[in-house]
């Protein structure tokens, strides 16, 4: 059973999804899958110059999976995702503690600051970071750390929105006050009472952030290029070589993102059940 169907059943127990809705969902799902399926088919055939493709092959995948550069690119991209998203979550949770429990007026300032990255083009952000930190001789002049920093900024608005909405949904300030009246300090209340209730919101926003980092080419190419090659830069480097191979790379990227999404959704489901 798909997660969508489960969600519908959970929302309206005992009611069946109408057939028309199922058909509509099926059509939309198929439409959204068309680009992926076409790419998958393209990556599995020798050539596709006529109406139908010809010559089934797994050569592209064999070549890809035996290429260590590919695996390193995948690994680097996952590390970039995890580290930058984790840094953003920790920084935002600390900042939002101040907003929720100490000074609520700072909320508007936080919102303004966190929305700025929306307006930043990737090229501008990458050039800005490079010109600021290159040659400073600090750890921040390292291209890898620059990339971590850049992604931390890039995902800031998405994770901020998720955390803020989750905090508003549970009326975090009121929960902290209730915990305070029971002898609990504010920060402890934030950690013990508020955070467990916004895990779901954090996971969903980190999922969105993860897909953004996975799909980025501009920042990775401008800041690190082949010094710290991520999967999109690897894809770009191989596009000219073989269209079949690049299709296989796209398919694998899709499957990796889908796998990460599945894990996060599973975690979310578990936390909701708890």
| 94 is a site residue for other proteins (CB under 8 A) | no
Total residues contacting other proteins by CB under 8 A comes to 18
Crossing angle for the helix pair 143-170 and 68-97, to the nearest 10 degrees: 50
Stretch that binds other proteins, among 39-47, 111-119, 184-192, 250-258 (CB under 8 A): 184-192
Phi, psi of 46 (to 5 degrees): -65, -50
d(CA 133, CA 264): 34
Gap between the Cα atoms of 132 and 126, Å rounded: 10
In the list 171, 241, 259, 263, the residue contacting other proteins (rule: CB under 8 A) is 171
Choosing from 54, 69, 177, 227, the residue that interacts with other proteins (CB under 8 A) is 177
Rounded Cα distance between 120 and 114, Å, is 12
Q: Is 183 in the site for other proteins (CB under 8 A)?
A: yes
- The H-or-E segment that residue 47 falls in is strand 45-47
**Residue list 194-213, contact with other proteins (CB under 8 A):** 196-197
- Decide: is 119 part of the binding site for other proteins (CB under 8 A): no
Q: Could you give phi then psi for residue 238, rounded to 5 degrees?
A: -100, -5
- Binding piece for other proteins, criterion CB under 8 A, among 67-75, 82-90, 96-104, 170-178: 170-178
Q: Which is nearer to other proteins, 14 or 183 (CB)?
A: 183
Q: Does 132 bind other proteins (CB under 8 A)?
A: no
Round to whole Å and give the CA distance between 187 and 201.
20
Residue 181 contacts other proteins per CB under 8 A: yes
In angstroms and rounded to an integer, the radius of gyration of the C-alpha atoms of the chain is: 22
To other proteins, the closest distance from the beta carbon of 263 in angstroms equals 21
Which residues bind to other proteins, rule: CB under 8 A? Answer: 170-171, 174-175, 177-186, 193, 196-197, 274
């Amino acid at each position: 059973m798909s997660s969508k169907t489960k969600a519908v059943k959970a929302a309206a127990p005992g009611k069946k999804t109408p057939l028309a809705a199922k058909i509509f969902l099926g059509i939309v799902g198929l439409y959204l899958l068309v680009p992926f399926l076409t790419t998958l088919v393209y990556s599995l055939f020798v050539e596709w110059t006529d109406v139908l493709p010809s010559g089934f092959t797994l050569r592209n995948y064999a070549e890809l999976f035996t290429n260590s550069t590919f695996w390193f690119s995948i690994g680097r991209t996952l590390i970039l995702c995890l580290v930058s998203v984790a840094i953003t979550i920790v920084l935002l949770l600390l900042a939002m503690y101040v907003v929720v429990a100490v000074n609520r007026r700072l909320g508007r300032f936080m919102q303004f600051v966190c929305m700025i990255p929306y307006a930043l083009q990737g090229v501008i952000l990458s050039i800005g970071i490079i010109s600021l930190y290159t040659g400073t001789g600090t750890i921040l002049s390292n291209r890898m750390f620059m990339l971590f920093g850049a992604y931390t900024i890039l995902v800031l608005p998405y994770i901020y929105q998720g955390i803020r909405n989750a905090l508003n949904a549970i009326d975090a300030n009121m929960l902290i006050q209730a915990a305070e009246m029971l002898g609990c300090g504010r920060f402890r209340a934030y950690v013990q009472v508020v955070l467990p209730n916004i895990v779901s919101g954090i996971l969903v926003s980190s999922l969105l952030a993860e897909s953004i980092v996975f799909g980025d080419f501009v920042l990775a190419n401008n800041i690190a290029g082949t010094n710290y090659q991520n999967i999109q830069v690897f894809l770009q480097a191989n596009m000219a070589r073989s269209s079949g191979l690049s299709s296989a790379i796209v398919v694998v990227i899709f499957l990796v993102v889908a796998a990460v999404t599945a894990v996060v959704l599973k975690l979310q489901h578990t936390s909701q059940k708890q």
